[in-house]
Structure 1
Amino acid sequence: MTAGLLIAFAAVLAGAFIQGASGMGFALIVVPVLALVHPEAIPGALLFLMLPLNAYVAWREREGIDRTGAGWITVGRFAGTFAGLGILLVLSTYWLNQFVGISTLLAVLASVLAPSFTPGKKAFIATGLVTGITETATGIGGPPLALVYQHAPVATLRSTVALCFLVGEVISLLVLGISGALKWSHLSYAVLCLPALLLGMGLSSLVHHRLDQRRLRIGVLIFATVSGLAVMLT
């Protein structure tokens, strides 16, 4: 097993644990790491890995799902997918890394500076649009969703974000597959990382109701900032 694969395993395990516990963090942790060690795995392998993770979280806390908000987010998400595909097809590996790094840093900044607000239909659609663009192009889509639900109960945030991710990932995978941007190597890489994902999911189920959400969120944002800068400088 190569050092790069071991690093990817560690990132997938940590990301699955943190997102399973807090509702966000998987892509913020895994995408910058994959961009450094296996850039060819982005975004297909990441999207495949997130399917079981988000299906599990959405089912575990299904009673907290905001179905109305999730519906409007999905409308925007569908439209944003095609813009994200255009970015993915046009950019070279270098510029895609720059886009990954900048997207990560902007997501962190937005997470820190966002004011308190009560989201409505327009906010949900706009969130879905931005998520569709960034997740299809880079695999990162969590921060806009976490922001729009940042003042909701924790169970609502985790379950609704997971459901939106799940629907959006299916859309992105279908569009990427039709366009020819999805490869069998993406699926095989995801299968290779599946044990690390399952372990992280299992660990999150033991502690998700006891973690200090504020400290965990700060840790995710610090790691994402460092990783985003590292991707841009490579």
Structure 2
Amino acid sequence: MSLEHLFITAAVVIIASFVQGASGLGFALIVAPVLTMLQPDLLPVCVLILMLPLNAYVAWRERHALDKRGAAWISAGRLVGTFGGLAVLLVLSPKALAVFVGLSTIAAAAATWVMPAFTPGLTAFVSAGLVTGITETATGIGGPPLALTYQHRPPAEMRATIALCFLVGELISLAVLLVMGKVQSPHLVAAVQLLPALALGAVASRYVHTRINARAMRLFVQIFAVVSGLVLLVKAL
């Protein structure tokens, strides 16, 4: 990575880690498009490596609010969904899959605008894990199903639980990529170079995350889901 690209990417990583540290979401959605333009060979390994300490920090910081039961069922569903995602890749073309997931994500976000508040149960947890495993494995975007599931819960619970679910998923993904020989030294070097920027954004987020109320968090989640869906549609079309 050139010095110019490193500075640009570091600035983006600061913003992205601040956003995810404050809200629990958004890092990959912000960083991935930039790396796609500047250094596409670093995807997805570098992003996955960077998200490990970020999500570990968020989960630990708000461990008091962690929904352990929900995280366990989501992770179980995600593991199964990972294989479902691999199967989907064999059936649908990448373009058709991106269009389907993009439209479904936008539709789900729109539906929540008129749905009454709900407390997620076992069915919701397993379903969210399954869908996340499928969409993240097949398209690289897995945040919206988790965010929509927890949108009516307290912000701290959402951040901590989603962070832990992301952490488990990233470890699974990196293990698979490592076995496939996709994790290489340039990925590790770039991740180490960007760690100070990641730490700066994450630490800065601790001064604002407690000021985000439930209503603002729910609005952010809905916007995040719509933007994620639009990103998939744009990439497909």
Fold conserved (TM > 0.5)?
Answer: yes
Which residue does the alignment assign to 1:201? 202
1:152 correspondence with 2:153: yes
Q: Is the Cα contact below 8 Å between 1:42 and 1:138 reproduced in 2?
A: no
Q: Is the Cα contact below 8 Å between 1:32 and 1:228 reproduced in 2?
A: no
> Tell me, what secondary structure is at the counterpart of 1:206?
coil
Which residue does the alignment assign to 1:110? 108
Which residue does the alignment assign to 1:47? 48
> Tell me, what secondary structure is at the counterpart of 1:46?
helix
CA distance in 1, matches of 2:211, 2:34: 28
Q: Is the Cα contact below 8 Å between 2:155 and 2:212 reproduced in 1?
A: no
Q: Is the Cα contact below 8 Å between 1:43 and 1:138 reproduced in 2?
A: no
User: Aligned runs of 1:146-185 on 2, under 5 Å?
Assistant: 146-185=147-186
Q: Is the Cα contact below 8 Å between 1:31 and 1:138 reproduced in 2?
A: no
Judged with a 3 Å threshold, the aligned counterparts in structure 2 of structure 1 residues 207 and 38 are, in CA distance, closer, same or farther, namely same
Judged with a 3 Å threshold, the aligned counterparts in structure 2 of structure 1 residues 104 and 17 are, in CA distance, closer, same or farther, namely farther
TM-score relative to the length of structure 1? 0.81
CA distance in 2, matches of 1:38, 1:125: 35
TM-score relative to the length of structure 2? 0.80
User: Aligned runs of 1:203-218 on 2, under 5 Å?
Assistant: 203-211=204-212, 213-214=216-217
How far apart are residue 65 of structure 1 and its match? 0.6
CA distance in 1, matches of 2:18, 2:90: 31
**Seq. identity, %:** 51
CA distance in 2, matches of 1:99, 1:9: 31
How far apart are residue 61 of structure 1 and its match? 0.4
Q: Which amino acid aligns with 2:42?
A: A
How far apart are residue 182 of structure 1 and its match? 3.0
How far apart are residue 60 of structure 1 and its match? 0.4
Q: Which amino acid aligns with 1:153?
A: P
Which residue does the alignment assign to 1:8? 9
Bigger-Rg structure (1/2): 2
Judged with a 3 Å threshold, the aligned counterparts in structure 2 of structure 1 residues 226 and 77 are, in CA distance, closer, same or farther, namely closer
Q: Is the Cα contact below 8 Å between 2:148 and 2:221 reproduced in 1?
A: no
Which residue does the alignment assign to 1:130? 131
CA shift digits 1:25-62 (9 cap, x unpaired): 11222223322332222221111111000000000000
Q: Is the Cα contact below 8 Å between 1:29 and 1:220 reproduced in 2?
A: no
Q: Which amino acid aligns with 2:197?
A: A
How far apart are residue 186 of structure 1 and its match? 2.4
Query: How many pairs does the alignment contain?
Result: 230
